[in-house]
A and B are shown apart, each in its own frame.
Chain A
Amino acid sequence: MENSNKKSRRDFIRTGTRLSLLITLGAVGGIAAKNLTAEKYVWQIDPFKCTQCGRCATSCVMTPSAVKCIHAYDLCGYCDLCGGYLKPDANKLSTAAENQLCPTAAIQRRFIEEPYFEYVINEDLCIGCAKCVKGCTSFGNGSLHLQIIHKRCLNCNECSIARLCPSQAISRVNASKAYKVKGGFTKDTKA
């Protein structure tokens, strides 16, 4: 009679196992829910800290780099003599290859109306070397600037460019504000 009120060892183990599974399931579900709702962070360049050293082209684990030049059109002067497009010693203000500063000819120069020219970045050709950014910042309005393009970025735990960036211009930003674009607007960089 006394033994009938006591749980057997088998029942105890069975109940304990069920309880453990339930707790584990709850914990896993909780962690999954937290991960789903938690804010994500991505790497991005602050264009106002960037010194256009050129390391973004060579330090990214992606080839070509996930860093690309983008253009803030509202800041652009649409210059004929564009310091971001032309070599300083260009013999003529033209689209001739020997006059272009970009090593991959990723910038297209389009005539708008005299004397305005529009400069469009071909993202597929851009390697993020920042030569155009340096030229534009030094001689013009600074409308060309670098950004990490997130559809190309692997979002490494430790960004290899951020580790080497001499101006510490790369940091984690909230994924909901993944870009730090200069000016008011830009547009699709694919020509």
Chain B
Amino acid sequence: MKNKGIVFFLIILAVVIVVVVALDYNASKPDQQPANPYAYNIDPFSRIDTVLIHYKESRNLAISFSEPTGISFRGDELFVVGDQKLQIIEPTGKLMNEVSFDQKPTCVYASTENIFVGFKKSVAILSRDGAKITEWNSFSDSTVITSIAEKSGIVFVADAGKRMIRKFALDGKSLGIIEGKSGNDQIHGFIIPSPYFDLAFNADGELWVVNPGKHSLENYTVEGALRTWWQASSIKVEGFSGCCNPAHFAFLPDGSFVTSEKGMVRIKTYKPSGEFSGVVAAPSKFAENSEAPDLAVDNQGNIYALDLNKKMLRLFVKK
């Protein structure tokens, strides 16, 4: 009788120990933890009010690049660079031509007569059918070419490494540089902490340049004098944040700006005055830790975003 009592007590004790251990183990699982006092919720900034989203994604074009880097649109053709090649693609996705290089391009720009392909320290000029015309190699060791544009026979090359825009005649003759410095101390040259330095001409022939460290877009004369600028520095959707935004931009036919950002990846539009207009693609459209997509706009104002992570061309049309 006495032994039965001891056995019964030991069984009860064992059950209690097992229950306590199980409860303790379960309580320390990640999903059973009390609220974290240090949690930093950035969802309010990545979540965009649908009223602000003025575009919808209409189609995607798969591209055969393992590392796409840049895109341009001219006439009725898309020009995509990456890996060690340039592809000329119809908006339907049909491959028209492919040109191979011995190094990886960083950017591309197509004018009415030529295709300019930028590499880290050189520029190749091709005819519109892809035949190589010439190559410029006379850049410095610290040059990092990130964007090219051409107007009236003058080629503007954005050099993020040297923080300047280099000007060339079509024959390769240097026509000087633009450093973005202003005499009245309104701006302090181009602030480029990482290799994101874009430039483009709008429909009125005005040269606009991103000053990414200042979160501003600046308009220069061809000679390099600052004419006007606008700035949008904010973590909120209306502005740009981080060290180097906007990473890329393009113009809509009405002169509005389309911008893409790195960090919290999103594509937005701004009126020609610089006033925030709306959102093209919210951060939820992109994979976590994505890179900023390069942009191109067709004649109808449709926006092509080169998604470097999904390796596809994504077409956004106005709702």
Contact = CB atoms under 8 A, between A and B. Distances in A.
Contacts of A76: 193, 243
B28 interface: yes
A interface, size bucket: 20 to 34
B36 A55 contact: yes
Contacts of B8: none
Interface stretch (A33-41, A135-143, A147-155, A181-189): A135-143
Interface stretch (A7-15, A18-26, A77-85, A172-180): A77-85
A83 B37 contact: no
Contacts of A130: 38, 40
B292 to A, nearest CB: 12
A29 interface: no
Main secondary structure of the interface of B (DSSP, over half): loop
B214 A115 contact: yes
A122 B244 CA distance: 26
A134 B263 CA distance: 11
Given A134-B40, A139-B263, A164 B242 contact: no
B263 A58 contact: no
A191 interface: no
Contacts of A134: 40, 42
Interface string B198-218: 000000000000000111000
Contact of A52 (B30, B40, B213): B40
Contacts of A165: 30
Contacts, number: 89
Interface in B212-261: 213-215, 233-236, 241-244
Contact of B243 (A78, A131, A164, A166): A78
A102 B37 CA distance: 13
A138 B30 contact: no
A138 B42 contact: yes
A77 B235 contact: no
Given A77-B213, A163-B28, A166-B30, A140 B38 contact: no
Given A139-B264, A164-B30, A77 B40 contact: no
Interface in B42-82: 42, 45-46
Interface of A: 52-55, 57-58, 76-81, 83, 86, 88, 101, 103, 114-116, 127, 129-131, 134-135, 138-141, 163-166
26 contacts: A52-B40, A54-B39, A58-B37, A58-B38, A76-B243, A77-B193, A77-B244, A79-B243, A81-B215, A81-B241, A83-B241, A115-B188, A115-B191, A130-B38, A138-B42, A138-B45, A138-B263, A138-B264, A139-B264, A140-B243, A141-B193, A141-B242, A141-B263, A163-B28, A164-B29, A164-B30
Given A115-B214, A140-B241, A141-B263, 9 more contacts: A54-B36, A78-B243, A79-B242, A81-B233, A81-B235, A138-B263, A138-B264, A139-B241, A140-B242
Nearest 5 pairs of A and B residues by beta carbon: A77-B243, A54-B38, A129-B38, A77-B193, A140-B242
